Amino acid sequence: MHNDVVLAAVRGCLDAGWSALRFNFGGVGSSGGRYSGGAEEIDDAIAAASALRDALPAEGPLAMIGYSFGAWVGAQAADRLADVRQVIAIAPPLRVFGWDFAQGFRPSLTVIVGDRDGFCPRDRLEALLASTRAEHVVLAGADHFLAGRDDELTAAVREHLGAGR
C-alpha cells in the first residue's frame, strides 16, 4: 500500500479523474488476517471494490489496478465483478502465478512491465498477450520493482484509464 509503484499508480488514477482506493491484503502491514496464497486475497480485493463502489456518489465504471501479486489477485477479482471494466496489471509475476483464468477475460486488460522483469519472462508475457486481447506497455530498462520509473508508470496508468472511460 505504501510502495512507490502503488503510489505512482494512484497518481495516474487521480490524474485521469478516477477515484482510487489502496489497501493491504490481510496480514500485510497492520492488517489483520494472514496470507492465504490467493483465495482470501481475492476476497479482500472484491470487498475493497465493493467498499469503493458504496463510497462513490455516482455510478460509473470501476478499474482494478494491481502490482505484482496484487496484479494477479486484482485481475481475478475484477473478472468476478460485473462493474469492473478495466484491469491494469503492473509487473505481473507470470513466473510465479498462472494466468490461465485470463483466457476469455471479460474486462479489458493492460499489462505494464519492465523489459528486465525477472518475474515476468518474455515468453510467458507473449503467451498471455496472445491468449487475451490485452494491451501492453514495456518500460525499457526497468526491472520488476520499476525503481525510478514513477513518472512513466503514472503516465501509462493515466493514459490507459483515460482510454477506458
Q: 150: domain CATH number?
A: 3.40.50.1820
Domain that holds residue 111: 4-163
Q: CB atoms < 10 A from the CB of 69, how many?
A: 20
- Pair 91, 110: CB distance under 8 Å: no
Amino acid present at 36 = S
Domain count, the chain: 1
Dump pLDDT digits (tens) for 105-129. 899 999 999 999 999 999 999 999 9
Which residue pairs from 32-38 have beta carbons closer than 8 angstroms and sit at least 24 positions apart in sequence?
Answer: 38/72, 38/73, 38/76, 38/97
pLDDT of amino acid 95: 97
The C-alpha cell at 114 is 519492465
Given CA atoms 136, 145, 25, 7 in this order, what sign does their dihedral have? negative
pLDDT at 102 over 80: yes
